[in-house]
Amino acid sequence: MAALRAIKAANKEISLSGKTAVVVGGTSGIGHGVAKRLALAGASVTIVGRSERGIVEELTALSPETAGATHSFVPVNAYLLSGVATACTKIKAKHDRIDYLVQSQGMATIQGFTPSPEEGLDQKLTLHVYARAKFIRELQPLLSSAKDGRSLSILSAGVHGSYANYKTDPELSLGSYSIKNAADSAGFYNDIVMDTFSEQHTDVTFMHAAPGFVSTRWGTEMPAPIRWCVRALQVFGRSKEDCGEYMFKGLTAETIGSASRTTESKESSSTKSNFVLLNEYGARIFKTTKLHEEAKEFVFKHIMNIIDSGKAVQQPNSKN
């Protein structure tokens, strides 16, 4: 608790007056906590989500009067890449630059491979990977227009494993789908997306973070018995506001704190200054999986092919 108090005190000294942030998934959960912290610091925040739920008024009430911040809402159906494209068009019409792009959209289910009828892509992987990659690629020019643009994907940095079938079944549609493979591939792919974008756009910092155990509405899509267990355990989780403080610390750090380099392979982790992995305390870590370098080129190219086509590249197998 003393460490959290120190982080909160340090965060209070940071002013983001004049800065612009876009938070995808900011109407609830972790994204909501981060959006509130950005507003408290004086940033103008655009929330991207399914329903507005009074979020603009809430952020306006939190903003310092002297910051001159304005907040807005952009609707999105992030289950579909076409929905992401529409949202990006609206965001680009509102902004000439983005200082911070934060993404936390996601879902927790025990369902099997569940492709959308329109695009044939699994719902969970779309939220966790494809939609995030598309938001970054579409909005990258606005991040590059900022003096120190930063993109943060909050998912599972440093805590996921490798996904071994990345080449034979990259979309998990040909028989590889399982809860573990879906989780590992999403984190594995996020590392690769951030790393590769950092190589292509050296003027932007690309971050992937693990939020830790947070008390949110996570798991509402699960069957009732599992949902009840999750709710019981969440009394031990940190609040979304405390998580927001840690993520804010990492997102805004002038220099990311060093950490012992722990990787499954000596060749697996980038130390480039603009590819940053964060732990649940907003501190920099250097842990990617043993297949990271081997898979990077293939996986990134496949994800870009999906984004370009706007649909599944593989033929989904409905029996998964």
Q: Is the pLDDT of residue 260 over 80?
A: no
Amino acid in the structure at residue 158: G
155, 284 contact by CB (below 8 A):
no
CA angle 220, 224, 226 (to 5 degrees): 80
Going along the chain from its start, the domains and CATH numbers come out as 2-309 (3.40.50.720)
Q: What is the mean pLDDT of the chain?
A: 90
Give the highest mean pLDDT range of 31-40, 237-246, 265-274: 31-40
pLDDT of residue 236: 54
Pairwise CA distance, residues 34 & 251, whole Å: 10
Q: Above 80 in pLDDT, residue 257?
A: no
pLDDT value of residue 222 = 54
User: CA 191, 115, 108 angle in degrees (round to 5)?
Assistant: 55
Number of C-alpha atoms within 13 angstroms, CB side, residue 79? 12
pTM over the 0.75 mark: yes
Alpha-carbon span 93 to 139, nearest angstrom: 11
Q: Which residue has the tokens 């019981």?
A: 232
Q: What is the pLDDT of residues 157-212, one digit of tens each?
A: 999 999 999 999 999 999 999 999 999 999 999 999 999 999 999 999 999 999 99
264 confidence band (pLDDT: 50, 70, 90):
very low
User: Residue 256: what pLDDT?
Assistant: 61
d(CA 296, CA 139) in angstroms, rounded, equals 22
Lookup result for tokens 């920099």 = 284
Distance CA 295, CA 197 (A): 15
In Å, what is the CA distance from 88 to each residue of 61, 75, 164, 196, 306? 26, 10, 32, 21, 17
Q: What is the pLDDT of residue 232?
A: 53
Q: Say how many C-beta atoms besides its own lie within 10 A of residue 97's C-beta.
A: 14
